[in-house]
Amino acid sequence: MGDEKEENTCHNHIIHSLFSDQLLLEGHDWCIIQLGVPGLIYGFNVDTSFFTGNHSPFVSIQAGCLDKLPTFTLEGDRTGMAASDSQLAAVAKLGSEAWPELVCVSELKPGYSDCCHNYFKVNSTNRVTHLRLNMHPDGGIARLLWVRYGVGQRDWSSVSTHQDIDLVALTNGGVCLGYSDAHFGHPRNMIGFGRAVNMADGWETARRLDRPKHLKVDKRGILQVPGWEWAVFRLGHPGVIGSIEVDTNHFKEQENNSSAVFTGNFPDSCRIEVCSLTIEEEAECIRTKWASGKWEVLLPPQKVRLSVLITDICTARPS
């Protein structure tokens, strides 16, 4: 009897995995996972979907913060085989069996739709670069997700105050703290990796039902409508903002030189405001759903052009 195999993934994170997976005579199965973004982890979703007869009955998760990336080689397709001797030797140098536990040995439910998501809260303030996922003793896990349960954390000690850097990027610790609407896409998508692959990979809201029957524009060509949609982000580090990029890729497309084809719920215009908050002030703003707080206009209302960029590039200098 063998174990079913699923590609070990981490919801858009890069992973290097080494499984010691075969019929065990002793010990338990494990794998080493390299996070795509070093950071803080607040929880996990261990998904056992479809593993209804051979899911791993128990799991534990350990974490380490490595200064240098291990030189793992996956040595081709090893489906149905245990890790090679060279891989085991490489992992032994990490001492991962002694890494601190984020999740102690805990029971997993089988992969039926009503119980396949196993959530675990993590209480840790330590930066993490790698995980050790332990199955006790063996079995199957479909997905290990932590993209919604962690925050990227950069080592800012190596960043010059004269260096331009994207302070709101997820990879640098940017976080979406609040928003007015996320009907079709969450605003945190806007600070993700690279450019969006499609509209679902961006932020899209529902149409406002209070839009007037007859639309009017001001002298700048900006639509005059009641209210607006908004999202709030905390930068990964305080800084001085020099330029901003607002990318409407996939929401607008140029068909040819004479006409434009509009796709999706693209914005007519945008405005960007900024403020500097203490931890206590941020908590109060979250409690009041951002009805409080002193905001200053950084970018006045701008008409979204047919090009994908409103301004040059989203960079700032750490302060």
The DSSP string of 12-62 is TB--------SS-SSS-EEEEEEEEEEEEE-EEEEE-TT-SSSB-SEEEEE
248 plus 136 within the same structural domain: no
97 plus 141 within the same structural domain: yes
Count CB-CB contacts under 10 A for residue 2: 9
273 plus 298 within the same structural domain: yes
CATH number for 275 = 2.60.120.260
Domain count, the chain: 2
Residue 61 lies inside a defined structural domain of this protein: yes
Domain boundary, last residue among 115, 130, 152: 152
Rounded Cα–Cα distance for residues 68 and 111 (Å)? 36
Rounded Cα–Cα distance for residues 44 and 145 (Å)? 6
**Residue, of 7 and 275, whose pLDDT is higher:** 275
Residue 187 lies inside a defined structural domain of this protein: yes
φ and ψ of 87, to 5 deg: -70, -45
Domain boundary, last residue among 152, 186, 206: 152
Position 86 scores a pLDDT of 84
160 plus 303 within the same structural domain: yes
214 plus 125 within the same structural domain: no
143 plus 214 within the same structural domain: no
> Which residues constitute the domain of residue 200?
156-318
Domain boundary, last residue among 95, 124, 152: 152
The highest-confidence range among 4-8, 34-38, 137-141, 237-241, by mean pLDDT, is: 137-141
Instruction: Specify the DSSP element, H or E, that contains 287.
Output: helix 279-287
Residue 4 lies inside a defined structural domain of this protein: no
257 plus 130 within the same structural domain: no
What would the pLDDT profile of 129-181 be if each residue is shown by its tens digit?
Answer: 999 999 999 999 999 987 556 677 777 888 888 888 889 998 888 999 999 99
Mean pLDDT, the chain, integer: 81
Rounded Cα–Cα distance for residues 252 and 307 (Å)? 8
